[in-house]
Amino acid sequence: MKVVYHDRYREVYSSDPASAPSRIESILDQLKTHFDFVEPELASEQDVLLVHNQEHVDNVKAHRLVYEIALLAVGGAVKASELTMQGEPAFALIRPPGHHASRSSSWGFCYFNNVAIAVEKLRSKGEVNRVVIVDIDLHYGDGTANIFSSSPQVTYFHPEAGSREAFVNELSRFVSTLDKPFDVLAVSAGFDRHEQDWGGLLRTENYRTIGKTLKECAVDKCNGRRFAALEGGYSHAVLGRNVKALLDGFG
Protein backbone atom coordinates (compact mmCIF):
# COMPACT_ATOMS: atom_id res chain seq x y z
CA MET A 1 0.00 0.00 0.00
CA LYS A 2 1.23 3.48 -0.92
CA VAL A 3 0.87 6.74 1.00
CA VAL A 4 0.71 9.83 -1.19
CA TYR A 5 2.37 12.75 0.57
CA HIS A 6 4.18 16.03 -0.09
CA ASP A 7 6.09 18.11 2.46
CA ARG A 8 4.06 21.17 1.51
CA TYR A 9 1.07 19.61 3.28
CA ARG A 10 2.86 20.63 6.48
CA GLU A 11 2.55 24.32 5.60
CA VAL A 12 0.12 26.35 7.71
CA TYR A 13 -2.06 27.99 5.07
CA SER A 14 -4.86 29.33 7.30
CA SER A 15 -5.99 29.60 10.92
CA ASP A 16 -8.49 26.71 10.84
CA PRO A 17 -8.02 23.37 12.69
CA ALA A 18 -7.30 21.42 9.50
CA SER A 19 -4.24 23.62 8.93
CA ALA A 20 -3.00 23.54 12.51
CA PRO A 21 0.73 23.09 13.13
CA SER A 22 1.77 19.49 13.96
CA ARG A 23 -1.45 17.94 12.61
CA ILE A 24 0.20 16.32 9.59
CA GLU A 25 3.32 15.55 11.62
CA SER A 26 1.26 13.54 14.11
CA ILE A 27 0.24 11.24 11.26
CA LEU A 28 3.68 11.09 9.67
CA ASP A 29 5.20 9.92 12.93
CA GLN A 30 2.96 6.84 12.84
CA LEU A 31 3.21 6.02 9.13
CA LYS A 32 6.73 6.87 8.01
CA THR A 33 8.38 3.55 8.89
CA HIS A 34 5.49 1.32 7.82
CA PHE A 35 4.49 2.42 4.31
CA ASP A 36 6.05 3.42 1.01
CA PHE A 37 5.58 7.11 0.25
CA VAL A 38 4.87 8.60 -3.18
CA GLU A 39 4.97 12.31 -4.03
CA PRO A 40 2.12 13.88 -6.03
CA GLU A 41 2.12 16.75 -8.50
CA LEU A 42 -0.06 19.84 -8.51
CA ALA A 43 -3.44 19.27 -10.06
CA SER A 44 -4.30 21.48 -13.01
CA GLU A 45 -7.08 24.03 -13.07
CA GLN A 46 -8.72 21.82 -15.72
CA ASP A 47 -8.82 19.00 -13.18
CA VAL A 48 -10.58 21.20 -10.65
CA LEU A 49 -13.08 22.40 -13.25
CA LEU A 50 -14.27 18.83 -13.68
CA VAL A 51 -16.45 19.40 -10.59
CA HIS A 52 -16.22 23.10 -9.69
CA ASN A 53 -17.25 26.17 -11.67
CA GLN A 54 -14.88 28.92 -12.73
CA GLU A 55 -16.23 31.47 -10.24
CA HIS A 56 -15.44 29.16 -7.32
CA VAL A 57 -11.97 28.43 -8.65
CA ASP A 58 -11.30 32.16 -9.03
CA ASN A 59 -12.47 32.83 -5.47
CA VAL A 60 -9.99 30.30 -4.09
CA LYS A 61 -7.29 31.55 -6.45
CA ALA A 62 -7.54 34.99 -4.82
CA HIS A 63 -5.77 33.47 -1.80
CA ARG A 64 -2.45 32.43 -3.32
CA LEU A 65 -1.09 30.08 -0.64
CA VAL A 66 -4.45 28.40 -0.06
CA TYR A 67 -4.85 27.91 -3.81
CA GLU A 68 -1.42 26.31 -4.18
CA ILE A 69 -1.87 23.89 -1.29
CA ALA A 70 -5.44 23.09 -2.36
CA LEU A 71 -4.23 22.20 -5.87
CA LEU A 72 -1.58 19.98 -4.33
CA ALA A 73 -4.21 18.27 -2.18
CA VAL A 74 -6.27 17.56 -5.29
CA GLY A 75 -3.12 16.24 -6.92
CA GLY A 76 -2.60 13.90 -3.97
CA ALA A 77 -6.09 12.43 -4.28
CA VAL A 78 -5.69 12.08 -8.04
CA LYS A 79 -2.37 10.28 -7.56
CA ALA A 80 -3.96 7.89 -5.06
CA SER A 81 -6.75 7.12 -7.54
CA GLU A 82 -4.22 6.49 -10.29
CA LEU A 83 -2.22 4.14 -8.10
CA THR A 84 -5.25 2.03 -7.29
CA MET A 85 -6.11 1.70 -10.98
CA GLN A 86 -2.59 0.29 -11.38
CA GLY A 87 -3.36 -2.33 -8.73
CA GLU A 88 -1.94 -0.56 -5.66
CA PRO A 89 -4.31 0.59 -2.88
CA ALA A 90 -3.37 4.06 -1.70
CA PHE A 91 -4.00 6.67 0.97
CA ALA A 92 -3.67 10.40 0.25
CA LEU A 93 -2.17 12.09 3.32
CA ILE A 94 -3.29 15.54 2.24
CA ARG A 95 -4.76 18.81 3.39
CA PRO A 96 -6.92 20.88 3.01
CA PRO A 97 -9.81 18.42 3.25
CA GLY A 98 -12.50 18.54 0.59
CA HIS A 99 -15.86 16.88 1.26
CA HIS A 100 -17.66 20.16 2.11
CA ALA A 101 -16.72 21.68 -1.26
CA SER A 102 -19.65 21.80 -3.70
CA ARG A 103 -19.62 22.88 -7.32
CA SER A 104 -19.82 26.61 -6.59
CA SER A 105 -19.02 26.98 -2.88
CA SER A 106 -17.18 25.47 0.06
CA TRP A 107 -17.05 25.62 3.85
CA GLY A 108 -15.83 23.54 6.80
CA PHE A 109 -12.09 24.04 6.13
CA CYS A 110 -12.50 22.75 2.53
CA TYR A 111 -11.75 24.48 -0.78
CA PHE A 112 -11.74 21.90 -3.59
CA ASN A 113 -13.38 18.49 -3.35
CA ASN A 114 -10.33 16.23 -3.57
CA VAL A 115 -12.13 12.88 -3.68
CA ALA A 116 -14.84 14.07 -6.08
CA ILE A 117 -12.27 15.46 -8.51
CA ALA A 118 -10.20 12.26 -8.38
CA VAL A 119 -13.32 10.18 -9.07
CA GLU A 120 -14.53 12.44 -11.87
CA LYS A 121 -11.11 12.43 -13.53
CA LEU A 122 -11.16 8.63 -13.65
CA ARG A 123 -14.69 8.79 -15.07
CA SER A 124 -13.80 11.44 -17.64
CA LYS A 125 -10.96 9.26 -18.93
CA GLY A 126 -13.29 6.30 -19.25
CA GLU A 127 -11.33 4.26 -16.70
CA VAL A 128 -14.33 3.76 -14.41
CA ASN A 129 -18.07 4.13 -14.60
CA ARG A 130 -19.74 2.98 -11.40
CA VAL A 131 -18.12 4.33 -8.21
CA VAL A 132 -18.90 4.01 -4.51
CA ILE A 133 -17.75 6.75 -2.13
CA VAL A 134 -17.84 5.98 1.60
CA ASP A 135 -17.39 8.93 3.95
CA ILE A 136 -16.47 8.01 7.54
CA ASP A 137 -15.94 11.59 8.74
CA LEU A 138 -18.02 12.88 11.63
CA HIS A 139 -19.71 15.35 9.27
CA TYR A 140 -21.84 14.61 6.22
CA GLY A 141 -19.97 15.41 3.01
CA ASP A 142 -22.58 17.71 1.54
CA GLY A 143 -20.21 18.84 -1.18
CA THR A 144 -19.61 15.31 -2.45
CA ALA A 145 -23.30 14.44 -2.24
CA ASN A 146 -24.25 17.63 -4.13
CA ILE A 147 -21.68 17.14 -6.88
CA PHE A 148 -22.88 13.63 -7.66
CA SER A 149 -26.58 14.13 -6.95
CA SER A 150 -27.43 13.79 -10.64
CA SER A 151 -24.97 10.96 -11.33
CA PRO A 152 -26.68 7.62 -10.67
CA GLN A 153 -23.42 5.81 -11.38
CA VAL A 154 -21.84 7.33 -8.25
CA THR A 155 -23.10 6.22 -4.84
CA TYR A 156 -22.29 8.34 -1.79
CA PHE A 157 -22.71 6.86 1.70
CA HIS A 158 -22.17 8.44 5.11
CA PRO A 159 -22.97 6.34 8.24
CA GLU A 160 -25.07 8.28 10.73
CA ALA A 161 -25.33 5.83 13.65
CA GLY A 162 -25.11 7.29 17.14
CA SER A 163 -23.30 4.49 18.94
CA ARG A 164 -19.97 2.77 18.38
CA GLU A 165 -21.38 -0.65 17.60
CA ALA A 166 -24.21 0.73 15.49
CA PHE A 167 -21.77 2.75 13.36
CA VAL A 168 -19.63 -0.28 12.52
CA ASN A 169 -22.74 -2.39 11.88
CA GLU A 170 -24.30 0.26 9.65
CA LEU A 171 -21.20 0.31 7.48
CA SER A 172 -21.18 -3.49 7.27
CA ARG A 173 -24.85 -3.54 6.28
CA PHE A 174 -24.25 -0.95 3.58
CA VAL A 175 -21.41 -2.83 1.90
CA SER A 176 -23.46 -6.02 2.05
CA THR A 177 -26.19 -4.33 -0.02
CA LEU A 178 -23.80 -3.56 -2.89
CA ASP A 179 -24.88 -6.54 -4.94
CA LYS A 180 -23.75 -5.18 -8.30
CA PRO A 181 -20.02 -5.00 -9.11
CA PHE A 182 -18.60 -1.48 -9.36
CA ASP A 183 -15.29 -0.09 -10.58
CA VAL A 184 -13.58 1.60 -7.64
CA LEU A 185 -14.15 2.35 -3.95
CA ALA A 186 -13.18 5.83 -2.76
CA VAL A 187 -13.07 6.70 0.93
CA SER A 188 -13.31 10.13 2.53
CA ALA A 189 -11.32 9.24 5.63
CA GLY A 190 -12.18 11.55 8.50
CA PHE A 191 -11.12 10.72 12.05
CA ASP A 192 -13.03 13.32 14.07
CA ARG A 193 -15.57 10.72 15.23
CA HIS A 194 -12.97 9.26 17.64
CA GLU A 195 -13.76 9.18 21.35
CA GLN A 196 -10.99 11.75 22.02
CA ASP A 197 -12.00 13.98 19.10
CA TRP A 198 -15.10 16.06 18.36
CA GLY A 199 -17.43 13.09 17.85
CA GLY A 200 -16.55 11.24 21.06
CA LEU A 201 -17.59 7.88 19.63
CA LEU A 202 -15.16 5.49 17.94
CA ARG A 203 -12.11 3.81 19.40
CA THR A 204 -8.84 3.37 17.56
CA GLU A 205 -9.47 -0.35 17.02
CA ASN A 206 -12.76 0.52 15.31
CA TYR A 207 -10.83 2.22 12.52
CA ARG A 208 -8.91 -1.01 11.89
CA THR A 209 -12.23 -2.85 11.63
CA ILE A 210 -13.60 -0.18 9.30
CA GLY A 211 -10.52 -0.43 7.10
CA LYS A 212 -10.82 -4.22 6.93
CA THR A 213 -14.54 -4.00 6.07
CA LEU A 214 -13.82 -1.59 3.25
CA LYS A 215 -10.93 -3.68 1.94
CA GLU A 216 -13.07 -6.82 1.89
CA CYS A 217 -15.80 -4.91 0.08
CA ALA A 218 -13.35 -3.72 -2.57
CA VAL A 219 -11.82 -7.15 -3.04
CA ASP A 220 -15.26 -8.69 -3.41
CA LYS A 221 -16.94 -6.01 -5.53
CA CYS A 222 -14.34 -4.03 -7.54
CA ASN A 223 -11.25 -6.20 -7.99
CA GLY A 224 -9.65 -4.64 -4.91
CA ARG A 225 -9.46 -1.14 -6.37
CA ARG A 226 -9.65 1.24 -3.45
CA PHE A 227 -8.17 4.54 -2.31
CA ALA A 228 -8.74 6.90 0.59
CA ALA A 229 -8.00 10.55 1.29
CA LEU A 230 -7.71 12.41 4.59
CA GLU A 231 -10.64 14.61 5.58
CA GLY A 232 -11.14 15.61 9.25
CA GLY A 233 -9.48 14.60 12.50
CA TYR A 234 -8.24 17.19 14.96
CA SER A 235 -6.98 15.49 18.12
CA HIS A 236 -3.27 15.31 17.42
CA ALA A 237 -2.71 13.00 20.37
CA VAL A 238 -4.61 10.16 18.68
CA LEU A 239 -4.90 11.13 15.02
CA GLY A 240 -1.78 9.32 13.85
CA ARG A 241 -2.72 6.09 15.59
CA ASN A 242 -6.22 6.25 14.14
CA VAL A 243 -4.94 6.74 10.60
CA LYS A 244 -2.50 3.86 10.96
CA ALA A 245 -5.24 1.62 12.32
CA LEU A 246 -7.43 2.36 9.31
CA LEU A 247 -4.58 1.69 6.90
CA ASP A 248 -3.62 -1.54 8.66
CA GLY A 249 -7.11 -2.82 7.86
CA PHE A 250 -7.43 -1.13 4.47
CA GLY A 251 -4.08 -2.00 2.95
Q: Active-site positions?
A: 100
Cα-based torsion angle of the residue sequence 49, 52, 55, 57 in order, rounded to the nearest 10 degrees: -70
How many angstroms separate the first and last alpha carbons of the chain?
5
Q: How many CB atoms lie within 10 A of CB 156?
A: 24
The secondary structure of 101-112 as a DSSP string is B-SS-B-TT-SS
* Phi, psi (degrees; rounded to nearest 5) at 88: -120, 110
Query: Whole-angstrom Cα distance, residue 205 to residue 137?
Result: 16
The secondary structure of 24-53 as a DSSP string is HHHHHHHHTTTSEEE---PPPHHHHTTTS-
Contact 237, 208 (CB under 8 A): no
Query: Whole-angstrom Cα distance, residue 153 to residue 132?
Result: 8
The secondary structure of 114-161 as a DSSP string is HHHHHHHHHHHTTS-S-EEEEE-SSS--HHHHHHTTT-TTEEEE----
